[in-house]
Chains A and B, each alone.
Chain A
Amino acid sequence: MLGKWLDNTVEHVTRRQARLTSRRSLLSRFGLLVIGAGFAPLLPVFRAGAFAEAPGIPEEGDPNHCSYWRYCAMDGYLCGCCGGSATSCPPGTVVSDITWIGTCRNPADGKHYVISYNDCCGKSACGNCGCQRDEGDTPLYRPQNSNNVNWCAGSQADVPYHCSLAVVIGVKE
């Protein structure tokens, strides 16, 4: 009963398909799709925010270089040079949620953005792209704004420090 119904349905659909399309039309349409998909990323569209967390953050500079605007208070290795990115930890490490937070001025729009400098923890130091700019860094007796603290001590993975992120979490008015 069910088998018969299935047979009829499939036959109906296939015959209809065969009646309404030609093999050449399938080929040409499929070819158009393949070529079109290849061209879509080449369209002249503004993509400055492609790697930012929130849409609408204008970007300039190289996120794997210490001079990048988000690293104004950085003291550590850039995760983008360690198998991760400026906003995600490399495989095999865990992010320290407990962290220190500061602001950096974005040269692209002149606004000050709130940056969370989360450390990635659980593996020994990465060693690539060491970056120490320390703007607004305070001495250790003001620990809440000191970048010399090993923030991995407050993570699930505990002390081993691998590299640091710079995540935009807000915009100053």
Chain B
Amino acid sequence: MRSVLLIILLTALITAAGQAAATDPVQFDYMMNCQGCHLPDGAGFPARNVPAVAGNLGNFLTVEGGREFLVQVPGSAQSDLDDARLAAVLNWMLKTFSAAQLPSDWQPYDAAEVRQLRQFPLIEVTPLRHRLMQQIEAQLQESKR
């Protein structure tokens, strides 16, 4: 009898546990605007031309034009997010997926900077990205030496 009561109690506890908790609003914006391609862990799918942001994004802040690129790239600039929310998502992505690459004197994006930058969309995205990646690569080699 005691064991039956125990089973009932345990089952009731398990089913009652965990009301679905609300997703963090910034992560929600990432889910709705970025995660479909860049994936939950930021890994992307380089084999299908979806760049990895994890372990890479912060490197862009270390080369000239990289900070601007992260705002002007079509996925950012042409998203439905307003300036403040886009700034928040970019800061969240940098901290969540690329904390190790962030420069120590890093300044987060704010709405004013994002508003100013996204007025100038990129025309040649892929060649520019390629150039930036080469600069990043060269810099990493330099720092290893």
Chain A residues with CB under 8 Å of B123's CB are none
Which of A17-25, A49-57, A85-93, A120-128 makes up part of the contact surface?
A49-57
Q: Looking at the assembled complex, report how far the CB atom of A115 sits from the nearest CB atom of chain B, in whole angstroms.
A: 10
Q: Are the CB atoms of B50 and A154 closer together than 8 Å?
A: yes
Size of chain B's interface in residues, with CB distance under 8 A?
31
Which chain A residues numbered 28 to 42 have a C-beta less than 8 Å away from chain B? 36, 40
Question: Is B39 an interface residue when CB atoms closer than 8 A count as contact?
Answer: yes
Contact (A97, B22) CB under 8 Å given A40-B7, A46-B15, A114-B32: no
A171 touches B23 (CB 8 A): yes
Question: B11–A45 contact, CB under 8 A?
Answer: yes
Q: A98-B36, A98-B45, A144-B33 are in contact. Are A173 and B8 (CB under 8 A)?
A: no
Given the complex, which residues of A lie within 8 Å of B79, measured CB to CB?
144
| B22 engages A98 (CB within 8 Å) | no
Cα separation A49 to B75 with both chains bound (whole Å): 36
* Cβ B20 vs Cβ A173 within 8 A: no
- Could you tell me if B36 and A172 are in contact, using CB atoms closer than 8 angstroms? no
- Please name the residue on chain A nearest to B19 by beta carbon: A56
The residue among B16, B20, B32 with the most chain A CB atoms within 10 A of its own CB is B20
Q: Within 8 Å CB of B12, what residues of A?
A: 45
Total interface residues on A, using CB and 8 Å? 30
Contacts of A47 in B (CB 8 A): 15
**Complex Cα gap A154–B28 (Å):** 22
Q: How far is the CA of A97 from the CA of B52 in the complex (A)?
A: 14
Kindly identify, within residues 71 to 97 of chain B, every residue whose CB is under 8 Å from any CB belonging to chain A. 75, 79
> Which of B23, B32, B36 lies in contact with A99, CB distance below 8 A?
B36
Chain A residues with CB under 8 Å of chain B are 36, 40, 43, 45-47, 49, 54-57, 97-103, 111, 113-114, 116, 144, 153-154, 169-173
Binding site for A on B (CB under 8 A): 4, 7-8, 11-12, 14-23, 25, 27-28, 31-33, 35-37, 39-40, 45, 48, 50, 75, 79
In the complex, given contacts A43-B7, A55-B17, what are 17 additional A-B residue pairs having Cβ atoms less than 8 angstroms apart?
A46-B16, A47-B15, A56-B18, A98-B36, A98-B37, A98-B45, A103-B32, A111-B20, A144-B79, A154-B37, A170-B27, A170-B31, A171-B22, A172-B23, A172-B28, A173-B23, A173-B28
A-B contact pairs, 5 of them (CB 8 A): A43-B11, A56-B20, A99-B36, A154-B50, A171-B20
Which are the 6 A-B pairs with shortest beta-carbon distances? Answer: A170-B23, A55-B18, A56-B18, A173-B22, A56-B20, A56-B19
